[in-house]
Each structure stands twice: as structure tokens, then as C-alpha cells.
């Protein structure tokens, strides 16, 4: 099967293909990797499809059960999956002679409205160790592409499951500009237009890492009561009722700063 991003037959498909290709290329560049693929989930059928690839052959266009492949692990664990070699996957979809099969691999969830709707997979094609910072940046990079994919995929069958017509979805998409994947924040970016203060943005970054209030206080060098106020403000401004939902809302709106902007203690 030919390598590359799936070609499309309509304007929407072409835009989706462009976004997917750019996401894979940027993800590979950020992690200094040689290949990548993206899968999207059809939860109604308990399957997922390989919709884009670059630098390797992952049976593009094929559909698989949710308990197969590294995407299956991402769905089951609802978090990034990192392996020393893709060969550790028992029900994998790469041929043994592929360079990506024997190299390190990392896969992160693609989230939309609290659901895992796909996986962004990066293949090192060699032996290496992915750092926590690299994985964090891959997660943030992946989420910046989601609103654009949802917009472009309104009429695309492979992305139809992403469109959750819940109250507020149209407003959310209207408010969220489609960010250029891999672009750093600038004076006109969504992060700069965010209603969150600098401390609140730092709080969201740490919430995304699952830190408790006590851990937040330590990382930000603030009192627990001050941290509670920041968390409450984040929940209020994102219009959410939980820390996880607040992080997802901030990601979807482009309010979460890139890893280089993360707070440091001291």
C-alpha cells in the first residue's frame, strides 16, 4: 500500500487530508522521528480506521477492532502509550521488516468533548527513549489540531463521529480559531486572547498533568488557598464542573500554552 496521507475526493476531504498530513509531519519533527500515523475511532462499531500515515505502511484505510494495535492500547488506557519497540504489540499492523516495527513508538489520544476519538502515533524507526517533555508536547500539539479537524470534517464520513451536537458545541467551534499545527503562540494567538490570567494558564498546564492542589501549590510556590482560588477561576472561565473538563475545554479553545511556556518552581 502506498505511503502518505490518504487522498481526498472533496474540498472537505482535501482540507482534512492536509491537516492530518501536517499533524503527522509536525509530530515527527518535534520528536525527531521518521514516521507517523493517525487513526480515528468509530465507537458505534467498536472499531478504528487508519486514516493517514507518513514514512511507513500501516495498512492505510483499513478498519480494525478496538482491542488491536497500539491505538487499541491508547483507547483502553486513555493515556499515552510508549513502547521500546512496536514489536511489543501482539496484534500489530506493521510488517516485521518495517523499520518502524523494531524502533521505539509513542501514541497519544486524540480527545474531543471528553472522549478518545483517535490516536496520533509517532514511530522513531530506531532505538531511543522518548522524554516526558516530548510526550507532553506531542499531546498538546495533537489537541491544537482537533478543532480544525472537526470543522473540516463536518461532511466527511471518517470524522462524523467527532461532531457531537451537544449544547454549546456550535458556540465552541465558532469561538475557537483553527490553529496552525505546530505554530508558536504570538500576539494574535488564542492563548493571548484567553480570559485566563498567567497564573490560571499555569494552573491549567499542571492540571493537565494530574497534579493535586498540594502538588500545584508546591510547583507554583503558592499557598493551597491561593491555588484553590486559581482552580475555581479556571472552572468558572471554562464553564466546566471538573478539572479534567476544564483542561479539555482549554485545549479545545487554544487557551493552553505550549510546553516551552510552562511554569518552573522557584
- Write out pLDDT tens, residues 202-248: 888 888 777 788 888 888 888 999 999 999 999 999 888 877 778 77
Query: How many domains does the chain fold into?
Result: 2
Judge if 17 and 110 occupy the same domain: yes
Helix, strand, coil: what percent of the chain each, to 5? Answer: 45, 15, 40
Judge if 143 and 257 occupy the same domain: no
C-alpha cell at 25: 509531519
Query: Considering the domain boundaries, does residue 119 fall inside one?
Result: yes
Judge if 139 and 247 occupy the same domain: no
User: Could you count the other beta carbons within 10 Å of the beta carbon of residue 137?
Assistant: 19
Query: Considering the domain boundaries, does residue 251 fall inside one?
Result: yes
Query: Considering the domain boundaries, does residue 154 fall inside one?
Result: yes
- pLDDT digit string, tens, across residues 81-136: 999 998 888 777 787 788 888 889 999 999 887 788 899 999 999 999 999 888 88
Closest CA to 20 of 34, 2, 33, 8: 8
Judge if 84 and 142 occupy the same domain: yes
Mean local confidence (pLDDT), 10-23: 71
Judge if 141 and 193 occupy the same domain: no
* Last-in-domain residue among 162, 179, 200: 162
- The pLDDT value recorded for residue 4 is 41
CATH of residue 221: 1.10.10.10
CATH of residue 155: 3.30.450.40
DSSP secondary structure letters along 39-94: EEEEGGGTEEEEEEEESS---TT-EEETTSHHHHHHHHHTS-EEES-GGG-TT--S
pTM of the model as a whole = 0.62
Domain that holds residue 220: 189-261
d(CA 244, CA 213): 14
* Last-in-domain residue among 122, 146, 162: 162
Judge if 128 and 233 occupy the same domain: no
- The pLDDT value recorded for residue 156 is 63
Query: Considering the domain boundaries, does residue 176 fall inside one?
Result: no
User: Could you count the other beta carbons within 10 Å of the beta carbon of residue 171?
Assistant: 9
Judge if 100 and 210 occupy the same domain: no
Judge if 140 and 231 occupy the same domain: no
d(CA 252, CA 240): 13
Judge if 197 and 144 occupy the same domain: no
Amino acid at each position: 500500500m502506498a505511503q502518505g496521507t490518504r487522498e481526498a475526493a472533496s474540498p472537505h476531504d482535501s482540507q482534512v487530508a492536509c491537516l492530518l498530513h501536517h499533524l503527522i509531519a509536525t509530530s515527527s519533527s518535534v520528536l525527531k522521528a521518521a514516521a507517523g500515523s493517525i487513526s480515528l475511532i468509530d465507537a458505534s462499531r467498536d472499531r478504528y480506521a487508519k486514516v493517514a500515515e507518513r514514512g511507513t505502511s500501516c495498512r492505510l484505510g483499513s478498519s480494525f477492532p478496538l482491542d488491536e494495535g497500539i491505538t487499541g492500547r491508547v483507547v483502553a488506557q486513555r493515556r499515552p502509550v510508549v513502547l521500546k519497540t512496536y514489536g511489543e504489540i501482539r496484534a500489530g499492523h506493521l510488517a516485521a521488516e518495517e523499520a518502524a516495527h523494531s524502533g521505539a513508538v509513542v501514541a497519544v489520544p486524540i480527545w474531543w468533548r471528553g472522549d478518545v476519538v483517535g490516536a496520533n502515533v509517532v514511530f522513531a524507526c530506531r532505538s531511543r527513549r522518548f522524554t516526558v517533555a516530548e510526550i507532553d508536547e506531542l499531546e498538546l500539539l495533537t489537541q491544537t489540531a482537533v478543532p480544525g479537524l472537526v470543522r473540516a470534517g463536518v461532511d466527511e464520513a471518517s470524522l462524523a463521529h467527532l461532531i457531537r451536537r451537544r449544547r454549546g458545541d456550535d458556540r465552541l467551534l465558532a469561538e475557537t480559531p483553527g490553529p496552525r499545527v505546530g505554530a508558536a503562540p504570538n500576539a494574535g494567538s488564542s492563548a493571548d486572547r484567553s480570559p485566563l490570567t498567567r497564573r490560571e494558564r499555569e494552573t491549567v498546564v499542571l492540571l493537565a498533568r494530574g497534579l493535586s492542589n498540594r502538588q500545584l501549590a508546591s510547583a507554583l510556590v503558592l499557598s493551597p488557598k491561593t491555588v484553590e482560588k486559581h482552580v475555581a477561576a479556571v472552572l468558572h472561565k471554562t464553564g466546566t464542573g471538573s478539572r479534567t473538563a476544564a483542561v479539555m475545554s482549554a485545549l479545545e479553545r487554544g487557551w493552553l500554552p505550549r510546553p516551552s511556556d510552562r511554569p518552573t518552581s522557584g
